[in-house]
Amino acid sequence: MSIQLLKKGSNTDPDMEQYNKNLRRHHLRNIGIAAAIVCLAVLFAWGIQIGLQHRTYDVYEVVRSFERSDTVMTQYTEFGTYVLKYSRDGISCVDSSNNLVWSQTYNMQNPMVDICGNSAAVADENGTEAMVFSADGLLGSFQTLLPIRSISVSSQGVLACLLEDGEAMRLNLYSSEGEELVTSHFDLQDTGYPVQMSLSSDAAKLAVSFLQIQNGTVNTYLAFYNFGSVGENYEDHLVAARTLEGAVVPSVKYVDATHCFAVGTTSLLLYEGSQIPELVQEIPLDREVESVFYSDDAVGLVLPGQEQAHALRVYNTQGNMEFETEFDLDYGTLKFSGANILIYNEFECLMINRSGTVFFTTTFDESISNLYTLSGNQRFILMHASRTDQIRLK
C-alpha cells in the first residue's frame, strides 16, 4: 500500500478549482459593472451640471398672477423665501403668492431695513424707533434715547444701533425686546466718523469703518470688536484694527459668523476668524468701484468695464475670483438672489448664474418694482406696480 502526502493548501478536486475561478471571475465582472455604472452616473450628472451652467433662455411665460395694492413709496427686499414690503406707515411680510404672513404698523419718516438669516429689523433713520422681527412676526419694539444713524441685526435678533450724541457717536447692542446689552462711546476726534458698521450673524463680533481726515489726508480706520469672553480681555473690546492711508472704505460687511469683507477705493479686504478676524486676502483694485453686493458666501464688485460699460467680478470668501464678465445695462438694482445674480432697471433685466453665464435678458412691457429668484434659474417672482407675477423662463 502506498500513501500520497498532500501539500498544505493544495486542491485535487478539478471541479472545485474551476468553481473558484468562475466565482472570482463573476465577482470581478460585478465590480467592473458597478464601477462603470458609477462612472456613467458621475459623467451624466457632470454633463447635466455643465449643461445647466451654460443653458440660456429666450422668453418667459407668466405662470400665476396676483393683484397687489401698494403705495408708490413702498420699498421691497427679500427675506428668506418671503418679501418684505415697507413704507413710512408700516412693514409687512408676504409669500410668493402675495399672501400676507404678518404686518406691523408704525410711523417712521425714513425707515431703513436690515436682514440677517431669519431676523429682520426696521428703524427710523434720525429717529428713535426700532423693531425686530422673525419670519413669524414681531419680536420686539423699543425706543432709543438718541437718534439712530444706522442699524445691523444678527440672526438671533440682536440689534446694533449707531446713535448720534453731539460731537460723539454711541454704539449700542439691544436684545430683540430692547434690553441694552452693550454700550460704547466713540470720540469723533480720536476714531473718526463711522461710515458703516456690520454685526456678525452670531452677534459676537462687529466691524466698523471710520473715516479720518488728518492734515488734509483722508484715511480709513477699520476696527473689529468682540463682545464675547475673548473681547473682555481687550480695552473697549477692540481686538483688531488697521489704518488704510489715503483710502476710503464705505463698505464693510460680516456675511456670516466668521467671514467679513471691506471694500475701499484701493482694495478688497477679506477677513476670517471665529473670535479675532485675520486678513485672508488683500486684492488691489485698479479701477474705482461702482457697486458692492454680497451673499452669505460671496462678494460682488462692479467696476468700469474695458469693452462694455460695466465689469462684474465675483469673489468667494477666500478671495478667489469665481468669474469676471462685462455688461452694458444701465442698472438700478444689482443683487444675489438664490443661485443667481439679478441686474435690472425699471424695464430691462439681465440674469447671470454663478458660473458667469448670462442666461437671460429681456425688456418688460411694464415697470419693475422688484425681481427675485423663486426656484433654480427658471422660476422668478416679478413685481410690477400693482401686480405680482410668477414667471418661468423658456
- Is residue 189 scored above 90 in pLDDT? no
Q: What is the mean pLDDT of the chain?
A: 89
Question: Is the Cβ–Cβ distance between 124 and 110 less than 8 Å?
Answer: yes
Question: Is the Cβ–Cβ distance between 345 and 329 less than 8 Å?
Answer: yes
pLDDT for position 337: 95
pLDDT for position 13: 65
Can you read off the three cell numbers belonging to residue 323?
A: 468669474
* Out of 22-26, 118-122, 304-308, 364-368, least confident range: 22-26
Percentages helix, strand, coil for the chain, rounded to the nearest 5? 15, 50, 35
- Is residue 236 scored above 80 in pLDDT? yes
Span 80-88, average pLDDT:
94
> 137: which residues sit within 8 A by CB, 6+ positions away?
93, 101, 102, 104
State the Cα–Cα distance between residues 295 and 64, nearest whole angstrom.
Answer: 28
- Is residue 184 scored above 90 in pLDDT? no
* 203 Rama class: left (phi>0) / alpha (psi -120 to 50) / beta: left
For residue 335, give the 3-state DSSP assignment. strand
* 100 Rama class: left (phi>0) / alpha (psi -120 to 50) / beta: beta
Span 152-174, average pLDDT:
93
pLDDT for position 288: 93
pLDDT for position 48: 53
> 319: which residues sit within 8 A by CB, 6+ positions away?
268, 270, 280, 281, 283
Q: What residue type is assigned to position 136 of the chain? A: D
The secondary structure element, H or E, covering residue 27 is helix 14-54
pLDDT for position 364: 94
* Dihedral sign for Cα atoms in the order 354, 358, 360, 362: positive
pLDDT for position 51: 53
Distances, alpha carbon 89 to alpha carbons 41, 104, 107, 110, 213, in Å: 55, 9, 5, 10, 39
* Out of 1-15, 96-110, 141-155, 309-323, least confident range: 1-15
pLDDT for position 131: 98
Q: With CA atoms as reference, report the closest residue to 151 among 131, 166, 135.
A: 131
State the Cα–Cα distance between residues 296 and 257, nearest whole angstrom.
Answer: 10
Can you read off the three cell numbers belonging to residue 249?
A: 472704505
- What backbone phi and psi angles, to 5 degrees, belong to 233? -85, 0
Cross-strand pairs, 62: 391
**How does pLDDT run across 295-320, given as a tens digit for each residue?**
999 999 999 999 999 999 999 999 99
**How does pLDDT run across 5-61, given as a tens digit for each residue?**
444 444 556 666 676 676 677 676 767 676 667 666 555 555 555 555 568 999 999
Can you read off the three cell numbers belonging to residue 234?
A: 481687550
